[in-house]
Every structure is written in structure tokens, then in C-alpha cells.
Structure 1
Amino acid sequence: MKYSPVAYALYGEVTLRMRGRDVSGCIVQLQQHGISLRSVRVHRETGQCRICLKDFDEVYRVCRAHRVRFRIEQRQGLPFWRKRVWKRKMFALGALLFVCIIYGMSSIIWRVDVLGVEDQDGVAQIRDAAKSVGLYVGQQRSKLGDPFVLQEKILAKAPDFVWVGLRTSGSVATIQALQKVEGTKKSSTTPHDIVAAEPAVIRSVAATRGRVLVKANQYVYPGQVLISGTLADGQKQVPASGDVFAEVWYTSKVSVPLKVIKSGLTGESVTRDYLLLGNWRIRVWGFKEPHFAASYERDSTTEWSVHRFVLPVQVQHVRLYQATQSAEQQSLQNAKQKALQLASADVQTKVKSDATVLGQSVLHEQVSHGTLYETVLTRVEQNIGVAAAIPAPQEP
């Protein structure tokens, strides 16, 4: 009886190594009984053939009648595979559990990205709005519903945005939002003065409303009225406005090392492979720790997907390069230039408005333990005028 390849896989197949004086006669009689033999090889008193496990009893009787012994060398097919799996049932159960976990993880939102929003307050507002309508890390994809309806709900919860778009790709949800453009702020109608915010020397005054009380090259102190909102004695008061540019002084203490440590790569490297399961990273290859202390890491991650569905299981390949450090001595002149640049950058962090550096002077300079220490005075031109309420008139 002839069997199809599917029948061999279903019923099972064994490879027999036969030995005896009448091996040829045994094989001839097996074929006469209609038993299907595959890969038949006969050499003197030995032979080899492959039979279906369903015909094993008949083959056994014929071989015994011809005094031919045989040994089973290979076992293939579903019955043997099932027996092997049963012996390792815990391993099979773990593999099945792993597949179920992967399927469950692929149906959950693992990351929510917000694009098009620069400030952190806006990002937090979008995330809170998305969480209130059911879009958050850990939510099942089947419970999200229609993306168009969901993005309308998010927009209704975020009043500072004019448009919100939602796109889900596998276990990643991407929210793209467009913030409202702030209109021109209305000028205050409450009468007030323009006063000095800090001590300075006046350079120029450009008043658009109010009465100017200072002039160029005049020293002013904090709180001094620069542009008064009171036009004249006994007249009405108005909100003063204008720009008062003055020279302000800032003192910065900076330090610059004369010996600079630079890093470089030697070319030697080791590789590591990681299995990414959501937010988990499991090392699967490259357990040998490198002997070099300093290293530079460069990685590349796969982007496996089925159509538009991004799989939650990815592979990350990491290469660690050996890095070396070398000391480079810079000149004192270059260190001084660097100190002035650091002082200028320090002043920019202190100035609340646009400012122009007028000049710099070194008040103190010292080199100690390979480091240049300087105290730098920086002269800056900036707008020092701030609004302040008009004080009530004092009774005589």
C-alpha cells in the first residue's frame, strides 16, 4: 500500500537497519505483501529501508520468518514527536505560554508618543486628556475604538490646541497636536510707572507714553522712577510705556582647566545582542565583559512589523568600542579667551531680556593646580524698565 507524504508524517515513519542471510528475499516478500518501502538499499547480508509505522507488525512477521534481524535507526512523524513533547511537557508548556504572552503583549499599548508640542506643559495636557478618554500605557487596543472619535474627545479635553491627530501602529500610539497661537497681549490700562529693575547707568530712553524723569549718563538705583505715569501735577495718570536702555555690570567667577582630556577610539570592540520585550531588555548574546574600562556604545534596533502592526518583540544589536583618553595641554592665552566666553555665557543666563555685551574686564586672575581662575566684570546694555504701581500721594 502506497502512502502520501502527509500519511507518513501523520502515522509515523521508521528507518530499519536489516541484517541476515536472506535480506534480499525478505525485502522481495515485503513488496509482494504490498508493503510500501522507501530508500531501499541491500548489500550482501545487510540492508536498509524506510517503512510506515502502520505496517510495522507485518514487517516484523516477515523478517522473523526469514530469520532477519533489524534495528530501528531513525523515528520520524507525529507519534514520535508527540511522545518527545510529552517527555518534555514543561518545556512545551513554557513555549506555549511564551506565545500566549507575546500575543497578549502585542494587543496592549506600550508607548504613547506626543509630537508637535515643544513645551512640557502642553505634552502633559495632551497626555492627561488622552488618559481621561482611555488612551494610556497598558490599555488594550481593542478597547480604543474609532481613532477619529478618540482624537475628537482628546481635542475637547485640551482647550489649548486647535487640532489633534491620532495614529496607532502596533503597540505604539502617536498623538500629533497643534497648539493655538497666542494673540497680541492687550496693554494694561491701569496707570503705572516704569522703574529701574537694577542699578545701572542710563544710555538712552525711548518713551512712548508718560513723562521721562532721567537722562543719559545718569546713575539710577533699583526702584527709581524712569518714566512716570503722572503727566504733571494735578493731571490725570496714564500707563507709562517705553524702553530704557542702560549699562549694567555683572561679575562672573569662572575656571578653565589648562589640561584638557580628550577621548578617542582604538578600533577594538565587542558586540552584544538584546531581546526587547516592550520595556524589558534581555541579553541573549555577548556575555563576555570587555577588558577595557572606557567604552563608547553604538546600537541598532530592528523594526519588525506585519503590514502596519509593529511587533512588540525586537532585537537590539549593541557594539561597544574601546575608548582611550589623552591629555592635551592648552596655552594660557587660549584659556583666557575661553574664560571670557564662559563669563559671557554666564551673563546671558542672568539677563531676562535681550542684551548686548559692551565689554569685559578681568578683575582677578590666578593659576592654581593646573586651572585658571578668573573674576570677570562684564558690561551689558539692556532694558532695565519694569512696570510698577504709582504710589499714592502723601498727605502734608
Structure 2
Amino acid sequence: MKHVQGSYLTGYVTILVKGNRPELFFQDCSNQGVQVWNVQKVSPEQCKGNVLLRDIKRIKKIKRKRNYKISFINKKGYPFIIKRIFRKREIVAATIISILLILFLSNILWKVEIAGVPKDIEEKIDKQLKSYGIHPGAWLFTLDKPGVIQQKLAEDIPELLWVGVNKKGTTFYLEGVEKIVVNEEEVVGPRHLVATKKGVIKDMYVSKGLPKVAVNDYVEPGDILVSGVLNETEDTTTEGKDSKKKKAKPIVVAAEGEIIANTWYEISVTVPLEANYEHLTGNHEKKYYVGFGDFQLPIWGFGSPDYEHIHRENIDNNIKFFKWELPVKIIETTLSEKTYQELERTKEEAIQTGIKQAKQELQLQIGPEATIVSEKVLQQSTENGKVKLDLYINVEEDIVKAQPINQGD
């Protein structure tokens, strides 16, 4: 009989049968459904053949009914190989420890490389990364994703214009571009101070130049507020009966000063009378799982927290073996307690909320140096559960900008 397919996987043995006409024993085995192959007659009273490992018990039962002596002369297949391996406990222990050590070393951060930035910014980045827990020796699956790290660095280090974070194996590569602060080019040399927007002059302080406006004057964008030309009148000279008028040589300076004006803005804002908010209380628990495809086996953090509403956030961290990603991952799940809040406002509360919101947005637009003086509701309406406001907001702010004087004119 030919070799039985899959016999090496399940294991098989070569048996030697001794007795009168031993080939009949193999015939009996075959008749009772035992697979037998490579049957060879060694001598008139000896015959050998291969049988599957799982049929040994059936062969022993058949042997009890026959006057034959059976011995096992060869064993082959994976079951015997595994059995021989586990007999050598030292080798098994060393192999398991080696695999665990490789897995451990393949899943910790070995190196952080930073390029493209000056030394001082590099030190800031390194310090910031350590505050995130990113340093040689850290577990890779406990670290944030490169995109999250990139966003954090851009927010926490204002000197960075751009930063790229890339993870290759057990190394983090960071490449940054320093932000070059380009200050608005200051007009050097002779200049006027002109208005940037319309308004009514509230206060003036001129250290250099000739004021062209006064307090309570109304100005438009582009109007000269402080002139850099100090002698704008004509000189008159008299010689006898003839008199001549000639233009004096202009005296020009770089005008300097601060002109505070009352300006105004019209803003529209809409505020709902009813709103639903999802609020995280700050209470949370973490759980860890080993994931195989869609299957997850909990390894830390059992049971469920006693929260009425739960916000769930999963972070998957693939386990690596050298440079290869295994189909096994560590899943970190954060269960945060959340509450739902329903807010109902009266119309007056909605109006006050809208005014506050409009003033905050305007302050961001005009800068911290400007002061919001007053506000007035021009128009209000309620539609579809929302209050719409048209506001008139009065601001005190510096409205000057420098304009160079063309001395060739």
C-alpha cells in the first residue's frame, strides 16, 4: 500500500511482527479498517509495516487474539518530535525565554531621532516627548499614534512651523521645520501715520510729527492722522517792490504716535433655546485585551465600571517580531463616564449668551490690546427655537499704520 497522506502530521510507527506467517497479521489489521502500508517480509517469520499512531490501540486488541509478538522499531511524525523536544526541558525553557525576549525587545522604543531643527528646539522637543512618555525603553503599544504626537508637538512648541513623526520598527523619526517669525516690515525713514479704519478719535499721543486731526474728529481709512512733514507752508521773501513766493525745503521725520479711536462693528449671532451636551466627568477605567482578528481576550481590567453612560475609546497596538507585525495586537480600551445634559434657556438668557459669544469672537479678531466699550442689540428675532441677534459693538483701539513719504514728489 502506498504512503498514507498526512501520516507525518499525525504520526506513524513501523512495527515488526514475529510469528508463524506474520503477513496474516497485517491482513487482519487491514480487514478491520486499520491502515497499513509499506509491508515488507524480513524473514519467513518476521514482517514489518507502517501504521498510524492513532491505530496503535486497535492493533494491540488484534494482537491479543493472535499469537504474535509485536515490537516498535521506528517512530516518525510531529507528535514524536514534539515529545522529544519537551523531554529536554532546558531547551524548551531556553526557547520560550528567547522568544519572549525577542518579543519584548521588538516592542520597546530603542531610539528617537530628531532632525531639521536647531539644537535649542531639539532639546525642547526631546523634553516634550519625555513628558508624553516617549523615550528609549518605553513600550511601543503604550505610546500615542504618530499623528497624535505630531499634533501635540505643534500645539506645545510654538517655535515649530511643521513637524513630521514617523515610526519605523523600534525607532521614532521626527523632522521639524522651525517657524520663522516675520515681523511686519517697519517703515523706516520719513513716514506719515494714517488711519486703518473709520472711527472717531478718542485720544491722541504724538511723539514725532505734525498732528492733522484732533480729538472727536471723524476719520476714514487712509486719512493722514500724523504728518511726517513739519513745514507744509510756503516761505514769502520781499526784495524791493517785487515779492516772490517759493516753497520751503520740506523737513520730514518718521512720525510716531498712538491714536485711539472709537470704532464699531456689526455682528450677527444665533443661539439655540434648547441644547444637548455630552459631558465627560473625568472618571475612567482602562482595560487591556489581546486581539486575534475579531476575537479579544481580556488580560487586565475585568468587569464593567458602574457608569450609566460610557464613552469607549480603543487604541490598537500591533505586536512585532523583529520587523514583522504579528497578527496579534494589544488593545487598550478606555471607558470614560459621560453624562447627557439638556439645557433650556429663556429668551433673555439666550440674548446674554449671544452677546458674550459675539464679544469673545470679536476680541479674538481685534486682538487683546483693543477694548470693547459697549454693545447694543439692533435687532432680535426668534425662529425655529433659536434667537437671532444683530449687535452693534463699540470698540476703542489703535487705528494707525505707517505710510512712507515719497520725497520725490
* Greater Cα radius of gyration, structure 1 or 2: 2
TM-score, with length taken from structure 1 = 0.48
TM-score, with length taken from structure 2 = 0.47
